[in-house]
Amino acid sequence: MRWYCLWRKIGALPDELRPDRSGVVFAIESRAPCADVLDGACVVGRAVDGEGALGSAEATEAFAMFVREGSFPVWKVSNQEATLMRPGDRT
């Protein structure tokens, strides 16, 4: 699997979302994190430091930004659970 850390690529992401500070890695992945979904590029926000990191204000805004941008499906992933984010979803 190939992935790209979006914190390194997107200047709009604040320093608070640096993966080692936030506990969340945002990346473009070539496959959806769910086996029953068609493969294809997507944005994945993956908790690497506990589920609570996904609920921070910075992570919530980043998920909303990627969903609004709309180029790729956006997934929130923690442990073995993956949720497809949609416009209007509360993270």
The answer to whether residue 50 sits within a structural domain is yes
The answer to whether residue 61 sits within a structural domain is yes
The answer to whether residue 91 sits within a structural domain is no
The structural domain count of the chain equals 1
The answer to whether residue 30 sits within a structural domain is yes
The answer to whether residue 49 sits within a structural domain is yes
Encode pLDDT of 29-68 as tens digits.
Answer: 888 887 677 778 899 999 987 888 899 999 999 999 999 9
Q: Which domain holds residue 67?
A: 3-85
Handedness of CA 41, 54, 21, 10 (dihedral sign): positive
Kindly report the pTM of this predicted structure. Answer: 0.83
The answer to whether residue 48 sits within a structural domain is yes
The answer to whether residue 90 sits within a structural domain is no
DSSP-derived pairing of the beta strands 42-47 and 74-78: parallel
Tell me, what's the pLDDT at 33? 82
Give the chain's mean pLDDT.
85
